[in-house]
Structure 1
Amino acid sequence: MKLILRLIAGIVVGILIGYLAPEFISRAFITFRAVFGQFISYTIPLIILFFIMSGIASLRSGAGRALGVTVAASYASTVFAGLLAFIVADAVVPHMLSSAGALVSESPGLEPYGFADKLTIPPALDIMTALVTAFLFGIGISTLKQQALKEIVDQGKDIVELALTRILIPFLPVYICGVFVALTVDGTVFATLRTFGLVLAMALFLHWIWLLILYTFAGLITGRNPLVMLKNMLPAYFTAVGTMSSAATIPVTLERTKSNGVDPHIADFSIPLCATIHMSGSVVTITTCATAVVFLTGGAAPDISTMMTFIALLGVTLIASPGAPGGSIMASLGLLSSVLGFGEPLIALMIALYIAQDSFGTACNVTGDGAIASVVEKLALSKKAGDH
């Protein structure tokens, strides 16, 4: 919650600087945005490489069928939630912006100081190279049980997470401040903020639509009342809103899932795993915001095949996203740039949009975990009974 308040403060200060401060101060903040954006671009492949590799390597096969069903159900929920978000955003957002035109330019009117162009930090790996390498080595480590290599990967992940928690996340409000200085100078800041509010409201609405769909499906599979199941999970939802952490909410999610009648052994296994791999709320927000940001620039929405590719890769990329607030959007930046072609100004807007609702996306994730556990119980235990 502190990060959200700091983000709001950064937006307000950015608007005030853009309107009231001398040009050299505005350029200083825009220059910081340009330099810090270079550092973000440098860290993106490292986040993808170490977090995804570590996450895949940690998915052991010891739990048998329950593991496979949990992973499949979580991934299916994440992908279909993303597709729903794209379909709705593609239909609704253009009507929101029909009278506004392009609100954001990739080339702001006030340029950073000249040294920012010379201070380049090229990434060590290409985005897709990092992604494929993470898959290859993650699966290999898990299959061959290479514990020594797994420890090295985990240590690399810890180093990258340290950079996120000590450098990237703390300085994001200043970075966002620079973004809104540029928007204010361009004269598009209030139109952009109005659209921000509408897009975030739509994302929150879609969270609950997806939870209703998810629990309706779980109710049909298990024979339980979906509305009662969802009501029982509300304490987990509100706990996640406060903590902004799936992991910190696990005890409440676990207790509420068991109160829905889910087998304790299944709940004890699936809920902690879903806290890492079930990201439907996060994908709904990222997809909705990405579609809106495209329209904000006056562009046409990506075609359905491009978005399906983006959502399918996003569902895997978020498997082991950093646990810090805003971690999911940081993990998705590589796909936003490589698949959707987002440049630095658009990535900055995505960060601002996502973090503004981060706690609600997390709440959708953990609340949906209870439905996934119910489905896993039905499918895994019915198969086990059939084997006997």
Structure 2
Amino acid sequence: MQEKKSLGLLPKLLLGITGGVIIGAIFSTLQIQLPIRILATFNGLFSNFLSFVIPLLILSFVTIGIADLGRGADRLLGISVGAAYFSTIFFTSMAMLFSWQLFPVVLQQQSIFQDLIENPKDFLLKGYFNIEMPPVLNVMSALLLAFVLGLGLATKKDENNVLFDVILSFQKIVEKLIHHIVIPLLPLHIAGVFANMSYSGKALHVMIAMAIVFTMILSYHFLTLVIHFTLAGLWRRENPFRLFMYMIPSYMTALGTQSSVASIPVSRQQMKEAGVQEDIANFAAPLFATIHMPGSAITISTIAFSLAYMTGLEVSILQAIEFILMLGIVMVAAPGVPGGGVMAALVLLESSLGFNETMLALTIAMHLAQDSFGTACNVTADGALALEIDMLFKRTSETE
């Protein structure tokens, strides 16, 4: 008997947004608050649960991420990780600089969005009750503890390290929690937010702004790939467009599966066809699928800075730089499930930029609505980075 294939996250999210807007409009016309307030109650509980889970996610994934990288620390790994991190923060910074120039032209600081941060209780209907779920650790403590544990475990060469095994088991528990509870409930959470906004008559303005921001994000993805493959082509003295065409199957695979990990076999094959040495391709494809995420980082940061601009939330250049540098680290350790990157980034949005519950929900919705394009940008850029790393080691070998 064949298993029924469930809808993917993106269709569920779009159904949630559409359903939320329709529900809000219907009950606004009927002047009935009950269903909207029930959804608002769920949203409050879900947000509190997320606040409880996120420090656990950061602690487990960042610890294992640093420990794993340190355990295999050799020259190729060190250079590859450094190149992936630099690529992520460079292109994210580039997107930020372009955005800050474009926001005054394409977006407006509207009172609709200012209410999201200044008067969220007046802007949206309240739930019937709330249950506090205080995190075991605050975000900064979780991050610092993860660094301490990760660096400590990275120095341990013993394969049977008990602490590493315990944290790895804990990571698997957190990953299951994200995969089986948080991600499936996200569409309902997003539906509740949009139902509330639709009830107040604000949803259309938000969706128009979302469409503008999406266009900007896709433009940044395209520019990232153009620059990456141009550099690879110049260094290798090959046609950048031809190199890019080799990675098109990877782009399409990621677009369909919404998963960098699922694209590894295709990426590995296309890297080799583009001219990357087999041993470099075998190493780079799985590593970069896990740690090189410029598309996702660009998406999260552009959404964050656009919401900050529209709400009138002041973000200094130092705050922005700190956010991008930390986001690059978080992307390395982000869980490999659809939406895992934005889940891990919520901590930074709240602690570094001061986002509230509604702004966090909008960030999740906007990110997941185009997550497949960010993933496709990630895996395609992996090919360019592999070509660059391959050339670096060829040049190094020639000089030795």
Same-fold call, TM cutoff 0.5: yes
Query: Map of 1:81-92 to 2, 5 A cutoff?
Result: 81-92=91-102
1:257 — aligned with what? 271
| Paired residue secondary structure (2:276) | coil
Which aligned pairs between 1:63-102 and structure 2 lie closer than 5 A? 64-98=74-108, 100-102=110-112
Q: Which residue of 2 aligns with 1:188?
A: 202
1:348 to 361, 381, 394: 361
- From 264, 277, 290, the counterpart of 2:291: 277
Q: Is 1:328 paired with 2:341?
A: yes
Between the aligned partners of 1:131 and 1:62, the Cα distance in structure 2 is 22
1:105 pairs with one of 105, 116, 129: 116
Find the aligned partners of 1:197 and 1:150 in 2 and give their Cα distance.
44
Instruction: Flag structure 2 segments of 5+ consecutive residues without an equivalent.
Output: 1-6
- For residues 99 and 331 of structure 1, do their structure 2 counterparts lie closer, same or farther at Cα, with a shift above 3 Å needed? closer
Which amino acid in the other structure matches residue 66 of structure 2?
Answer: I
Distance 2:11 2:177 in 1: 21
Q: Any idea what the Cα deviations from partners look like across 1:135-191, whole Å, max 9, x if unmatched?
A: 111111111235322211111111001111111000001100111122113321101
Counterpart in 2 of 1:220?
A: 234
The equivalent of 2:317 in structure 1 is 304
**1:213-248 per-position Cα deviation (integer Å, ceiling 9, x unaligned):** 111112222222211111110110010000111111
1:44 to 38, 54, 68: 54
Q: Letter of the aligned partner of 2:129 in structure 1?
A: F
- Report the secondary structure of 1:113's partner residue: coil
CA contact (8 A) 1:233 1:370 kept: yes
Query: Do the aligned residues in 2 keep the contact of 1:100 with 1:191 (CA within 8 Å)?
Result: no
Supply the AA of the counterpart residue of 1:75. Y
Equivalent position to 1:20, from 21, 26, 41: 26
Aligned residues: 384
Partner of 1:6: 12
Task: Select which of 344, 351, 358 maps to 1:338.
Answer: 351
- TM-score, normalising length: structure 2: 0.92
Q: Matches of 1:152 and 1:222 in 2, distance apart?
A: 45
User: What CA RMSD, in Å, does the superposition of the two structures yield over aligned residues?
Assistant: 1.6
Tell me, yes or no, if structure 1 residue 132 matches structure 2 residue 138: no
Which of 39, 43, 51 is 1:33 aligned to? 43
The question of whether the paired residues in 2 share the 8 Å contact of 1:108 and 1:182 is answered with no
**Overall identity of the aligned pairs, in %:** 40
Deviation at 1:101, TM superposition (A): 4.6
TM-aligned CA distance change 1:288 to 1:228, over 3 Å: same
Counterpart AA for 2:230: T
CA distance in 1, matches of 2:278, 2:111: 54
The Cα shift of 1:383 comes to 2.4
* More deviation, 17-26/378-387: 378-387
1:86-142 Cα shifts (integer Å, max 9, x gaps): 1122121232233845435231434323421xx100111111111111111111111
Give the Cα–Cα distance (whole angstroms) in 2 for the partners of residues 373 and 99 of structure 1: 41
Tell me whether 1:143 sits opposite 2:155 in the alignment: yes
Asked if the contact 1:102–1:298 (Cα under 8 Å) also holds between the matched residues in 2, the reply is no
2:382 to 359, 369, 372: 369
Amino acid of the structure 1 residue aligned with 2:274: N
2:329 equivalent among 300, 316, 321 = 316
Partner of 1:115: helix, strand, or coil? coil
Q: Contact (CA 8 Å) 1:61, 1:67: kept in 2 or not?
A: no
Work out whether residues 11 and 177 of structure 1, in 8 Å CA contact, stay in contact via their aligned partners in 2: yes
How far off is 1:209 after superposition?
A: 0.3
Q: Is the 8 A contact 2:108 2:310 kept in 1?
A: no
Partner AA of 2:153 in structure 1: I
Query: How many Å separate the matches in 1 of 2:341 and 2:319?
Result: 20
Whether the 8 Å contact between 1:102 and 1:295 is mirrored in structure 2 is no
Aligned to 1:292: 306
**How many angstroms apart in 2 are the aligned matches of 1:111 and 1:122?**
23
Structure 1 CA distance for aligned equivalents of residues 145 and 91 of structure 2: 27
Distance (whole Å) between structure 1 residues aligned to residue 325 and residue 355 of structure 2: 18
Equivalent residues of 1:69, 1:380 under 8 A apart: no
Does the aligned pair in 2 maintain the 1:247–1:272 contact within 8 Å? yes
**Once the 2 structures are TM-superposed, how far is the Cα of residue 315 of structure 1 from its aligned partner?**
0.6
Matching residue's letter, 1:327: G
